[in-house]
Structure 1
Amino acid sequence: MSEPTSPSPAFGLIIIGDEILSGKRSDKHLPKVIELLAARGQGLAWSRCVGDDPLRITAVLRDALGSGDAVFCCGGIGATPDDHTRQCAAAALGTPLALHPVARDLIFERMREVAAEQGKAFDAEHPDNVHRLNMGVFPVGCDIIPNPYNRIPGFSCSGTSGSRVHFLPGFPVMAWPMIEWVLDNEYQHIQRPGERQERSVIVFGAMEAALTPLMEQIERQHAVKVFSLPSVDHPEYGRHIELGVKGETAAVGAAFADLLAGLHLHRASLGPEMVRS
Structure 2
Amino acid sequence: MGNGICDICGHRPATHIITTSRGGRQQITELCEQDHARLRGKSRAASPFDSLFSGGGFNMFDDLPSEFSRLSSDMGYPLPRDREATNLEDYLSEHTKEIIQQAAETTVKFGRREVDTEHLLYALADSDVTAEILKQFKLAKDDLKGYIEVNTPRGDEREPEEGQVEVMVSPRVKAVLESAFQAARELGHGYVGPEHLLIALAEEDEGLAGEILRRYGLTPQALRQKTVKVVGKGAKEGRVESKTNTPQLDKFSRDLSRLANEGKLDPVIGRAKEIETTMRPLVSDTATSSTN
TM-score, normalised with respect to structure 2: 0.24
Structure with greater strand share of residues: 1
